[in-house]
Amino acid sequence: MPFSDLPPTALRAYTPELVDPRDFDEFWAVTLAESRAVTGEIRLQRIEGEITQLVVEDLTFPGFEGEPIRAWVTRPLGGVGPLPTVIEYVGYGGGRGLPFERIQWAAAGFVHILMDTRGQGGNWGTGGDTPDPHGSGPATHGVMTRGIESPGTYYYRRLFTDAVRLVDAARTLDFVDADRVAVAGASQGGAITLAVAGLVPDLIAVMPDVPFLCDFRRSATLTPSDPFTELRTYLSVHRDLVAQTFTTLSYFDGVAFAKRASAPGLFSVAFMDDIVLPSTVYAAFNHYASAKQIVEYEFNGHEAGQAYQWRRQVAWLRQILAE
């Protein structure tokens, strides 16, 4: 597969001037305040099974409008807490899977919390356990156009709120060091990571890999592969809703959240990525408002660095913690 986008020199300089909605900050402040005002129970249940040298727990916490969201918590057995914590978000179409699938962060000495993704979990992996109980107007397959009629009804308003509320919930757990919480994720998980970075002011680190949902206009018009093709399909039918659709999307663009980030960030990008164009990753990276680094994978597609990137994340995060 050849390079999917601009040449590397142009990529590194790509900093589009995207205009945020005037009420962007108010919209998100009200959204989060409304969900935080709804009481909900935080529950942990120990999972006994294949893993015996780590503690694995099933977490239920209140997300958007207090709706119950599931997550896996994995942590060192007998660890002296509270411990630094990595909250991870999942890629498009996936769910949290089975409780023993992602244990490397806990094996490295961290508390790891993997959030389930409401209404997803049916496209790859081993499934999810959290429904999205909200209806939608006309939409294509997937979730890219679900509720896209307005920012208030758009699917990602609920998902991003879930992600912030997980940070809130994690900080109440006695084995979590509330002052040392990092967020991470790849693709859609990277998009959620950027959203949390822009909405939570006191994280210790942010690790978005090949983040999705950035620079929407460029992504929708130039990306050859799903899921951005969902937007093109929708707009090819709803020809009169182009302006309205991109207005909605402007409240969820990773670039807008990157501008508001305050924690150090470690990004990754893949130059042969035809699912998330590398220029759109650089759009967020170049606007990122805090200290930042990016790792380039010249000959990779959307899989990017995988285990190589995780090894870099561990070393980078340990350095931050040591400082």
Alpha-carbon distance of 26 to 86, in angstroms, equals 28
Phi-psi category of 173—alpha, beta or left, where left has phi over 0 and alpha has psi -120 to 50?
Answer: beta
The residue written with tokens 């939608």 in the block is 136
How many Å is the maximal CA-CA distance in the chain?
59
Tell me, yes or no, if 141 is annotated catalytic.
Answer: no
Does the N-terminal peptide bond of residue 133 adopt cis geometry, omega within 30 degrees of 0? no
Burial class (CB in 10 A: 0-12, 13-18, 19+), 122: exposed
Site of tokens 């099974």 = 49
Residues 258 and 289: beta-carbon distance below 8 Å: yes
Active site residue 287: no
284: three-class secondary structure by DSSP: helix
Q: Is 8 helix (H, G, I), strand (E, B) or coil?
A: helix
What element of type H or E holds 60?
A: strand 54-62
Coarse DSSP helix, strand, coil percentages of the chain, rounded to the nearest 5 percent: 35, 20, 45
Residue 268 phi/psi, 5° resolution? -135, 155
Query: Catalytic pick from 4, 35, 112, 187?
Result: 187
Q: For residues 211, 207, 146 and 142, what is the CA-based torsion angle, rounded to 10 degrees?
A: 60
Residues in contact with 27: Cβ distance below 8 Å, sequence separation at least 6, in sequence order: 21, 151, 251
| DSSP code at position 21 | P
| Helix segments in 201-277, DSSP class H | 216-222, 228-237, 242-249, 254-258
Q: Known catalytic residue: 187? A: yes
- Selecting among 132, 253, 273, 274, the annotated active-site residue is 273
The residues annotated with a catalytic role in the active site are: 187, 273, 302
